[in-house]
Structure 1
């Protein structure tokens, strides 16, 4: 399968001519990522993970596009695009389903804590084809499955470098690529990635940096 990284948290997966997109948010090249997509997986409702106006336009412009996400995300999209309600699906943690020819398993349940005074929203992590794991804004480790390709949230208001490294060590995927890096400058990015690469490598994970728009076979 081909994986293309976009700015921040969005990735696009392609297999057998079919396209699945995860977390097309406002920090990302949403229109480009969604071109030709059959399905979209949304981890949670924050704007850097779903660009609602862009998603509504995509649903209206593509009658075969389906969206999967937590209840709040699905309800909001149904309100904004009622004509596409039948193609907007609520996902619960611990479920399995098919999307655009990809096999999906969902994990988690809630967003990582930012601050006690900031409400915690629902967050779903997705494992695609038993291979690529996108955790959204959480460090939930999938149970019962071996992850081959890990998408690592490098930097956010809810994490610190030690937690990022421990997440990579805990999952122990064969390879890892960065996501959630839109708030870092070049110096900060290199610093965090060096920790992930060096310490994760001790436990068998090869970390590779992907630039926005860069693709790799996984």
Structure 2
């Protein structure tokens, strides 16, 4: 499986000519990430994970594209893209389905708390082919499964470094790569990633940084 990292939280998975994209947001190169995509998974409604305009265009360009998202996101996309209801499906914690030939399991339920005065929205984390886990904006450890490749939200308004490190240690995936890194400059990112790599390494996790547009075989 080929994994390509895009800016912030977006990744593209390719295998045997099939393409699955997760969280193409407004910080990401959404049009590039979505080119030729067979299916898209959205974790939650925030714009850095859900570029509604880009997805509306992608649906208009491909009658075969399927988008899976929490109910609120799916509802918004149906309004944006009338006539494409059959291509937009709800996803919720506990669901299992096949998207673009990839086996998908759903975990989580809620976005992490940003501030008590701000409403909490739905958030679905996705485990792909019993290997790649994208948690969206929550540090939910998926229960009853083993993760091979963890996508780590390294920085967010709702997290701190110690929580991110504990998440990596708890999941204990053999390999991990960063996501949700669009709000840090190079110095801040290097500082945060050094803690994740150092402490995660003590627990058998090999953490690697991927540059925007970089691909890796997993």
Structure 2 Cα separation of the partners of residues 94 and 198 of structure 1: 33
- What's the counterpart of residue 212 of structure 2? 212
Gaps of 5+ in 1: none
TM-score scaled by length of structure 1: 1.00
Describe the superposition over 1:123-177 as per-residue Cα deviations: whole angstroms up to 9, x where unpaired.
0000000000000000001111100000000000000000000000000000000
- What's the counterpart of residue 169 of structure 1? 169
Secondary structure of the residue aligned to 2:165 is helix
Structure 2 Cα separation of the partners of residues 155 and 92 of structure 1: 24
Structure 1 Cα separation of the partners of residues 80 and 32 of structure 2: 21
TM-score scaled by length of structure 2: 1.00
Secondary structure of the residue aligned to 1:83 is coil
Deviation at 1:92, TM superposition (A): 1.2
Secondary structure of the residue aligned to 1:82 is coil
Question: How many residue pairs align between the two structures?
Answer: 218
Describe the superposition over 1:82-141 as per-residue Cα deviations: whole angstroms up to 9, x where unpaired.
211111000110110000000000000000000000100000000000000000000001
- What's the counterpart of residue 134 of structure 1? 134
Structure 2 Cα separation of the partners of residues 109 and 213 of structure 1: 30
Q: Please say if 1:64 is aligned against 2:64.
A: yes
Describe the superposition over 1:51-85 as per-residue Cα deviations: whole angstroms up to 9, x where unpaired.
10111000011110000000000000011112111
- What's the counterpart of residue 198 of structure 1? 198
CA RMSD of aligned residues (A): 0.4
Structure 2 Cα separation of the partners of residues 73 and 115 of structure 1: 21
Gaps of 5+ in 2: none
- What's the counterpart of residue 45 of structure 2? 45
Q: Which runs of 4+ in 1 moved over 3 A?
A: none
